Amino acid sequence: MTTRATRTPRRRTVVALAVILAILAAFVVRLVDIQVVKADEHVAQSLEFIAHRTSIPGERGSVVDSDGSVLAESVLVYDAQLSPQVIRLLEEDDKNPPKLPWAEASTRIAEIMGLDADELRAEVAAKLAEDPDSQYLPLVKGLSTEKYIELRELKVSSYLVMKPREVRVYPNGAVAGNLLGYLDGAGTAQAGVEKMDEKCLAPTDGEESYRTGKNNVVIPGSESRVDAVDGGTVQLTINSDLQWYMQQMIAEEAQAQGAKGGTVTVVEVGTGKIRAAAEWPTMDPNDLDASSPETWTSKLFTYPFEPGSTFKAVTAAAVMENAGVTMTSPTVSASSHEKFENGAVINDAFVHPTFQYTLAGALIDSSNVALSKFGTMVSPDVRHDYLERFGVGETTVGFPSETSGEIHPTSEWDNQSLYTTTFGQYFTVTAPQLAGAYQAIANGGQKIGLSLVESCTAPDGTVVTPRAPEPEQIVKPETAADLTRMLENVAVQGGNADRIQVPGYRVTSKTGTAQIPDGKGGYKSGVYYTSMVGFAPVDDPQYVVVVTLDEPTRVTSSAATASAFQKAMTQTMKTYRVMPSSSPMDALLPKFE
């Protein structure tokens, strides 16, 4: 029998257990509500109120020339602004006046920034008169680090704020400007090497993060930091001193000839490295608005033209290797105007009687008729193959918007183009492609891919060089040697002989005169895109030079390029201290039988 004394403790135990279970049940229900039912809401709230993230910007890499001279770099500049309200409060504080009164501080600030002190004080007074609580008065943008340090030493940061920002600067101005390209206002590469090597130059931003409590107190252990990684340094193959000279020279020559523009390309024979790629008009990436948008990229790589007679050497290579033709035999009969059996009409640039031309003579006199007859000794497919071997239809260095030129399949060659393709018409090239073709001739028939970028050096010192295509033997060494000898005879016996000689050096040359499309399916009348290409020294070829002029008007033929070619080749030999020719020229080749 249960007594009252024993029943009372039991009731108390049951009640206590019930209370405990109720409390636990409430905690469980609340825990489920927090961690399951409203989990997303609570996570979002925690991130919104306690997580702080700050981006740490990296610095864009530099571009340097072949000797390490800086062509493009990023620097910090500072935009200065004042808070008129803070100036007023400090000046009105009689108990704790500023160590440097505004009257004196404004004079010092004006001196450093190149402002008028009276005008500065008047602007602050006007702002305060308009609004006593005004907190913003912009001053000068783009202050240098030196100016920033001078201003900081005034110790007036309570009202003088200098916000840093990164800007791209080009220390040599317009030197290689068309090659370097530029960045837009947001710092995005738009053209040139800046865009071509974005992967190397672009930095990787870092991040700093931490968490705070309700009172903005940083939670210990919540801080984390990932440092930014600066961009790498791109080294170009360009020699900036040679580039500067070529730009000045081609600007003078183009204007003297009344041309719309001009270019000079210099390529190292043994490496394919582009040592100069100059053009006029040019642009200064520091001041784009001072030039036309047409100059904001490189015409060298983006403008295709018919190479004309400069590619007669390629036709000569094809017939020498596939039709048994030598420099002096067989010969072809050619007048200055002939109509072929298929109805095609071919003319030479000058009137002459019928000559029995050797292949060397056809190149020396640049006879279209004679080259047409030599060229058709092999099939169109063979000639098409040789055009491709010498680089027609392929880009050179992967420059932004670089054109590959145009080469039509032989199935599209009509009665006229069957012959015009023998002397550089009905296909197009760029100046670097033309330089690459002659690099192969100068290099014993071995074609080496052109290069504009030497390397990319990462911030940790790792050097990465671009992968280059394997050198290719596109013609026999003896064919290249015969072509070189004939091209030297062009330089010595051709119409520009007196104007292109470089004292002390044996030189090759070949001119080209291209018709310019009128945009209506035809060609412009009386104006041409002229070019001249050659290499030196003949006895040990070191450099190829290509000069072009766009629509010269003083002299409309390719002779307009003679002076510029001579100056460009002479300066190249001087710049690289190339040894003069040590052996005499072989006997002159006969032009006729």
pLDDT tens string, the chain, 593 residues long: the values are 555 555 566 777 777 777 777 787 777 777 666 666 666 665 555 544 557 777 777 899 999 999 999 999 999 889 999 999 999 999 998 888 888 999 999 999 999 999 999 999 999 999 999 999 999 999 999 999 899 999 999 999 889 998 888 899 999 999 999 999 999 988 899 999 999 999 999 998 888 787 776 556 667 777 788 888 899 999 999 999 999 999 999 999 999 999 999 999 999 999 999 999 999 999 999 999 999 999 999 999 999 999 999 999 999 999 999 999 999 999 999 999 999 999 999 999 999 999 999 999 999 999 999 999 999 999 999 999 999 999 999 999 999 999 999 999 999 999 999 999 999 999 999 999 999 999 999 999 999 999 999 999 999 999 999 988 899 999 999 999 999 999 999 999 999 999 999 999 999 999 999 888 888 888 888 899 999 999 999 999 999 999 999 999 999 998 999 999 999 999 999 999 999 999 999 999 999 98
Contact call for residues 84 and 135 (beta carbons, < 8 A): yes
Mention every residue, 6+ apart, whose C-beta is less than 8 A from residue 95: none
Pairing of the two strands 233-236 and 261-268: unpaired
Beta strands in 16-69 (DSSP E): 51-56, 63-64
Cis before 307 (ω within 30): no
Long-range contacts: 566-569, Cβ < 8 Å, 24+? 566/499, 566/500, 566/501, 566/502, 567/249, 567/253, 568/246, 568/249, 568/250, 568/264, 568/266, 569/500, 569/502, 569/505, 569/507, 569/534, 569/536, 569/543, 569/545
Mark out the alpha helices in 93-185 (DSSP H runs).
Answer: 102-113, 117-130, 145-152, 177-180
Residue 296 is which amino acid? W
Rounded CA separation 100/87 (Å): 11
What proportions of the chain, in percent to the nearest 5, are helix, strand and coil? Answer: 40, 20, 40
Q: How many other CB atoms are found less than 10 A from the CB of residue 307?
A: 31
Structure-derived torsion over alpha carbons of residues 470, 474, 479, 483, reported in degrees to the nearest 10 = -90
Contact call for residues 209 and 313 (beta carbons, < 8 A): no
Instruction: Give residue 33's pLDDT.
Output: 67
Q: What is the pTM of this model?
A: 0.84
Instruction: Give residue 391's pLDDT.
Output: 97
Cis before 293 (ω within 30): no
Rounded CA separation 294/297 (Å): 7
Rounded CA separation 277/265 (Å): 5
Nearest Cα to Cα of residue 377 among 426, 342, 309, 330: 330
- Pair of tokens at residue 120: 């500065």
Give me the DSSP letters along 338-376.
EE-TTS-EEE-SS----EEE-HHHHHHHT-HHHHHHHHT
Instruction: Give residue 238's pLDDT.
Output: 98
Q: How many other CB atoms are found less than 10 A from the CB of residue 50?
A: 16
Rounded CA separation 363/513 (Å): 14
Instruction: Give residue 23's pLDDT.
Output: 80
Pairing of the two strands 233-236 and 63-64: parallel
Residue 457 is which amino acid? T
- Whose structure tokens read 């006593």? 132
Q: How many other CB atoms are found less than 10 A from the CB of residue 538?
A: 21
Instruction: Give residue 83's pLDDT.
Output: 93
CA pseudo-torsion sign 447, 453, 456, 457: positive
- H/E element holding 403? none
